[in-house]
Amino acid sequence: MQTDSLSDRILKGERRALARAITLVESNRADHRAQASELLAQLAGSGRQALRIGLSGTPGVGKSTFIESFGMMLTGQGLRVAVLAVDPSSARSGGSILGDKTRMERLSREKNAFIRPSPSQSHLGGVARRTREAIALCEAAGYDVVLIETVGVGQSETVVSELSDLFLLLLAPAGGDELQGVKRGIMEMADIILINKADGDLKATATRTCADYAGALRLLRKRPQDPEGFPKAMTVSAVEEQGLEQAWHEMQSLTRWRRDNGIWEANRAAQARYWFDQEVRHALLARLDTPQAKAEMERLNAEVSAGRLNPARAAEELLGTLS
């Protein structure tokens, strides 16, 4: 694969080239990793930036429906929207359905939208390991907004906050009590909480749930990256497309404030340091995957199992052979 021609096509906004590049960066083959690194280095000077919006929520809350309605609204305003949807992988087979694109039928036909489902594989935190690199590719391709939809598994899904400029949390009406609003974890990472399905018989319930969370958010310690009034809770209806314009207005308001106060750049710098640390850790773990390291682990495993060596001492011996 010629990375020069691929980078040129990405900079021109070709969706097929972008899809091919994301496949390249998601590959674990050594030659593909080298090509991906070269490609990202070539695109690093493009200077293009998108608004990165992380989106999480429990399964069934309507994340895909919200993204489609929200994405259609944004493309209707002339913006280019990329959606990176992370699907859970089977713990048994390792496979993923990758069905998020089929749920966004209207948006998938939109010429100014790009939807890419990716498997989470064994990576925890609700995102795929190479999602950050996929975001960089979407930015280089000229997309204005990148939506990162997480697996949606619970309150530990905080890694997406290390990828995004804004973090939205979608909740269902009557999905819990106000105590959830002050629990540590995903709740305190959210910039805006959206109570979805505020329509029909659930509209009144959604309004009460929103009020509960708004009250709970006021009990949280104020964060330095927030202006007055944030984080906040709002009601939306993805099906009836109600509240989307107001939610977008609040996102833009928060983004402008963070840009004007230097928080945007500081946040992205902190995220770069975080992912550097993660890459170092993954590289060190990869050194345990060599035949020599595996043979040494098998030998030490036998010593530990027989009770002749304690686990801590065995670990020290193994690490000593790697240094």
pLDDT tens per residue, range 142-184: 999 999 988 665 544 567 778 899 999 998 887 655 445 445 5
Alpha carbons 238 and 52: distance in angstroms, whole number: 20
DSSP code of residue 242: B
Q: Are the C-beta atoms of 180 and 216 separated by less than 8 Å? A: yes
Please report which helix (H) or strand (E) contains residue 210, including its range.
Answer: helix 203-217
Nearest to 67 by CA among 250, 156, 194, 204: 194
pLDDT at 93 over 60: no
CA dihedral 223, 229, 231, 233 (to 10 degrees): 160
pLDDT digits (tens, 9 = 90+) for 23-73: 998 888 888 989 999 999 999 888 889 999 999 887 788 888 999 999 999
pTM: 0.84
Alpha carbons 288 and 277: distance in angstroms, whole number: 18
Nearest to 151 by CA among 173, 172, 122, 176: 122
Q: Which single residue is written with the structure tokens 């695109």? A: 43
